[in-house]
Amino acid sequence: MAYKVAVIIHETGHLIAAKSVGGTPRRVVLGKGHELYRTKIRNIRVVINSNFLGGHAYASFEQPGLLKLRYGAFILGGVLLNLICGLVMSIFFEVDFTNSRGEVIIAIPFTIFLANSLMVLNLIPYNTTIMGMKVSTDGLALLKLPFTKPGEIEKRIDVNLLFDGH
């Protein structure tokens, strides 16, 4: 359950970052597999799939100025929001996994803290697939960003149109 919350927070972080740097949040896909539910929230398509392992957020950036920097902020937005949530959980709630008698307990705030903290693993660079298409994780996309031409970034962003058509 805490992992699912962390995934939602992560993908929301991408969308918030896109909006904050002048982009337009378009779509968030939660999970892989068969589509179970689809809706629109604030003009953002939300798709929930059967296998809730990970997710992807999509945004468009119509203004080409500083595209690499804005796209980098979009990529980092997910991990940053996870870190902020983990920090908030550790400050406002007891995230210790033992109680006053020394007994091991697993408290909800601790599991949410741990799940959000582990989302930093999204920065490990590797390729994955979405709907049969090879895509980079957040970490690999960040590593490639300085060497990527703006036209390639625009192509990646235009993938939204393919998903809309699909």
To the nearest whole number, what is the mean pLDDT of the chain?
A: 85
In this prediction, residues 59-70 reach a mean pLDDT of 88
d(CA 50, CA 46): 14
Binned at pLDDT 50, 70 and 90, residue 12 comes out as very high
Phi, psi for residue 45 in degrees, rounded to 5: -75, 130
- DSSP assignment of 60-96, as one string? E----TTHHHHHHHHHHHHHHHHHHHHHHHHHHS---
Q: What is the DSSP letter of 124?
A: S
Residue 43 is given by DSSP the state T
Amino acid at 138: D
Provide the pairing of β-strand 44-60 with 127-130.
unpaired
Structure confidence at residue 166 (pLDDT): 58
Question: What is the per-residue pLDDT across 78-101, written as a single tens digit (0 to 9) for each?
Answer: 999 999 988 888 787 766 666 677
CB 32 within 8 A of CB 22: no
Q: What is the pLDDT of residue 117?
A: 82
Name the pLDDT band for 69 (thresholds 50, 70, 90): very high
Can you say whether the dihedral through the CA atoms of 135, 127, 17, 36 is positive or negative?
positive
Q: For 104, which DSSP code?
A: B
Query: Would you place residue 164 in the very low, low, confident or very high pLDDT band (cuts 50, 70, 90)?
Result: low
Q: How far apart are CA 103 and CA 47, in angstroms?
A: 41
Structure tokens at 100: 């006053």
Strand partners, 48: 30, 37
pLDDT, mean of residues 108-135: 81
Q: Please give the share of the chain, as a percent, with pLDDT higher than 70.
A: 87
- Exposure string for 92-115, b = 16+ CB within 10 A, e = fewer: eeebeeeeeeeeeeeeebbbbbbb
Position 142 confidence tier, pLDDT thresholds 50, 70, 90: very high
Q: What is the pLDDT of residues 14-47, one digit of tens each?
A: 999 999 999 999 999 998 888 999 999 999 999 9
- At 163 the pLDDT is 62
